């Protein structure tokens, strides 16, 4: 008949050690404690007996012979090299990856050139609109100031132009800082739109620009000489388009390859 | 000298590292029964256990250069346990109808192998007990099942089990404790395992 243990906590601790006790995995002192406890505790003695029985049943589980030989054949071992259909695809994929990397690199170079060449606001605007959509939209959210309607891309010129050309344009800047005169903005709109023309491929940037047209920047963009020297705009646009295309191609190829 | 009888594991491993597939296959033959049985008990289904066993040996062969010595058998069993876990995960992902824990399909029975020369009554009971234990084992969390099997079926000490499972001895201790507790609870609810039930309840 199971006795209620006199010391419940000690009993619980002993109980947790019974499996290790049966397995012969207790330290000598722990083992001695269990052995001292057992004679006075029927539930623990039962648990020990049950554990021994379970252990014996598990040990008695029949061992299955190997159902066949698991020897490795040279063909199994050599499996990684001869993948039949795949070599063709990877070669193509490598080319696509190379094309993507090259066009992105070229885009970065031309983009940097067009930024640092100190060109007109037009260049700056086109550049940030098509070449660096992310930074463009980032900057735009910064300037949530004097919201006004209209001329998409030109707004980003506000960010590039002051950085490059603000000293000479000091007056223009301060003038434009005030929520600006309507006629000015009206005048700026068509020309800025024309500037944005080649960059329109990049829907991203254009959308970003549309969200955010501070009027002040319009005036500024218009102030700056737009027809200044080297025109990287088309290059940036073309390379941007090429980059998007090649990256999309690589993505598609990778997805297809992983599915098969 | 020893080569005249049986080449040692270490010798076969070093030959395998030099690229000898024959030497590795000697290890396969030496341990395939142990590896297959662990997979079989962990997975509970023969075809899947065969797949896991084959994959385990393939994976062992490919990673033999990273084997740093020690017990070859334990090393193989560790790989086998990992393969079994992957195999179970794959089957679970494929769909619940493939789930093995409660099914009583035709694939379950053959795990309980007849033992030659056993008398009728004992044999039937052993079959029933073996089947019941396998079903109960499959209801344990994988790590507890692995620990209990390595201890009670393969006869490993906690220290070696910890090495195979990649865990601490304390963890092994508690996995075995909780695993057996759960096994006892499940098995004592199965009236068909009379003999075992009587013994389990003391």
Q: Residue B175 pLDDT > 80, yes or no?
A: yes
A58 with B152: Cβ contact below 8 A: yes
What is the spatial distance between Cα A250 and Cα A89, in angstroms, rounded to a whole number? 11
| Cα A124–Cα A127–Cα A129 angle in degrees, nearest 5 | 105
Q: Shortest Cα distance from B2 to chain A (angstroms)?
A: 23
Sequence-ordered list of residues with C-beta below 8 angstroms from that of A33, at least 6 positions apart, any chain: A14, A17
Identify the residue with better confidence: A4 or B15: B15
Share of chain A above pLDDT 70, in %: 49
Q: Shortest Cα distance from A5 to chain B (angstroms)?
A: 18
Mean pLDDT (whole number) for B125-152? 88
- Separation of CA B201 from chain center: 27
Say what the pLDDT of residue A91 is. Answer: 80
Residue of chain A whose Cα is closest to the Cα of B61? A77
pLDDT grade for B111, boundaries at 50, 70 and 90: low
Say what the pLDDT of residue B199 is. Answer: 61
pLDDT tens track for A36-61: 999 999 999 999 999 999 999 899 88
What is the spatial distance between Cα A25 and Cα A22, in angstroms, rounded to a whole number? 8
**Highest mean pLDDT: which range of A145-149, A226-230, B106-110:** A226-230
Share of chain A above pLDDT 90, in %: 24
A66 with B36: Cβ contact below 8 A: yes
Q: Shortest Cα distance from A94 to chain B (angstroms)?
A: 27
Task: Tell me, yes or no, if B79 comes closer than 8 A to chain A by beta carbon.
Answer: no
Chain B contact probe: residue of A18, A51, A58 with most B CBs at under 10 A: A58
Residue of chain A whose Cα is closest to the Cα of B179? A19
Identify the residue with better confidence: B132 or B121: B132
Say what the pLDDT of residue B91 is. Answer: 85
Identify the residue with better confidence: A173 or B158: B158
Length of chain A (residues): 260
The answer to whether B164 and B80 have CB atoms below 8 angstroms apart is: no
In Å, what is the CA distance from A53 to each residue of A2, A46, A49, A58, A131? 19, 10, 6, 9, 75
Identify the residue with better confidence: B136 or B4: B136
Per CB-CB distance under 8 Å, the chain B contacts of A31 are none
Nearest to B130 among A47, A62, A71 (CB): A62
pLDDT tens track for A195-247: 444 444 444 444 444 444 444 444 444 444 445 556 788 888 889 999 999 99
Q: Which of B197, B150, B200, B202 is nearest to B176 (CA)?
A: B150
Handedness of CA B13, B15, B18, B23 (dihedral sign): negative
For the CA atoms of chain B, what is the radius of gyration? Answer: 18
Q: Which of A150, A185, A160 is nearest to A236 (CA)?
A: A160
Per CB-CB distance under 8 Å, the chain A contacts of B196 are 53, 57
Residue of chain B whose Cα is closest to the Cα of A63? B37
Identify the residue with better confidence: B169 or B105: B169
pLDDT grade for A127, boundaries at 50, 70 and 90: very low
pLDDT grade for B41, boundaries at 50, 70 and 90: very high
Among B residues 138-157, those touching chain A with beta carbons less than 8 Å apart: 148-149, 151-153, 155, 157
Average pLDDT, chain B: 82
pLDDT tens track for B78-92: 999 999 999 999 888
Q: Residue A171 pLDDT > 80, yes or no?
A: no
Query: Considering the entire predicted model, what is its pTM?
Result: 0.56
Task: Tell me, yes or no, if B24 comes closer than 8 A to chain A by beta carbon.
Answer: yes
Q: Shortest Cα distance from B5 to chain A (angstroms)?
A: 21
pLDDT grade for B139, boundaries at 50, 70 and 90: very high
């Amino acid at each position: 008949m199971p006795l209620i243990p006199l010391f419940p906590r000690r009993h619980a601790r002993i109980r947790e050690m019974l499996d290790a006790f049966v397995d012969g995995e207790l330290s000598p002192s722990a083992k001695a404690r269990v052995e001292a406890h057992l004679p006075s505790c029927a539930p623990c003695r039962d648990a020990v007996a049950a554990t021994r029985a379970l252990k014996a049943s598990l040990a008695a589980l029949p061992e299955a012979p190997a159902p066949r030989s698991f020897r490795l054949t040279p063909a199994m071992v050599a499996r990684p090299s001869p993948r039949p259909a795949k070599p063709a695809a990877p070669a193509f994929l490598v080319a696509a990856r190379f094309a993507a990397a090259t066009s992105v690199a070229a885009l970065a170079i031309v983009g940097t050139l067009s930024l640092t060449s100190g060109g007109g606001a037009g260049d700056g605007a086109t550049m940030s609109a098509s070449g660096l959509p992310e930074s463009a939209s980032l900057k735009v959210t910064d300037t949530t100031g004097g919201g006004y309607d209209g001329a998409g891309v030109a707004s980003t010129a506000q960010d590039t132009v002051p950085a490059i050309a603000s000293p000479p344009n000091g007056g223009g800047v301060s003038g434009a800082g005030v929520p600006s005169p309507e006629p000015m903005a009206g005048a700026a709109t068509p020309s800025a739109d024309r500037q944005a023309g080649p960059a329109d491929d990049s829907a991203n940037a254009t959308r970003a620009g549309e969200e955010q047209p501070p009027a002040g920047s319009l005036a500024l963009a218009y102030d700056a000489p737009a027809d200044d020297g080297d025109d990287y705009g088309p290059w940036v646009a073309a390379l941007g388009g090429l980059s998007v295309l090649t990256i999309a191609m690589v993505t598609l190829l990778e997805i297809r390859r992983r599915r098969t | 000298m020893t080569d005249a009888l049986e080449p040692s594991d270490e010798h076969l491993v070093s030959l395998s590292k030099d690229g000898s597939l024959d030497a590795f296959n000697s290890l396969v033959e030496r341990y395939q029964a142990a590896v297959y049985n662990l997979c079989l008990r962990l997975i509970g289904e023969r075809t899947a256990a065969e797949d896991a066993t084959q994959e385990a040996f393939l994976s062992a062969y490919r990673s033999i250069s990273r084997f740093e010595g020690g017990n070859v058998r334990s090393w193989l069993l560790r790989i086998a346990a990992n393969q079994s876990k992957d195999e179970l995960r794959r089957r679970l992902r494929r769909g619940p109808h493939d789930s093995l824990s409660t099914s009583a399909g035709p694939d379950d029975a053959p795990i309980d192998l007849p033992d030659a020369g056993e008398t009728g009554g004992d044999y039937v009971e052993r079959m029933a007990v073996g089947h019941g234990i396998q079903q109960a084992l499959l209801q344990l969390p994988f790590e507890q099942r692995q620990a209990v099997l390595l201890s009670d079926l393969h006869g490993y000490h906690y220290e070696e089990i910890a090495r195979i499972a990649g865990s601490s001895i304390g963890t092994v201790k508690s996995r075995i404790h909780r695993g057996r507790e759960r096994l006892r609870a499940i098995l004592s609810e199965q009236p068909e395992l009379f003999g075992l039930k009587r013994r389990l309840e003391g």
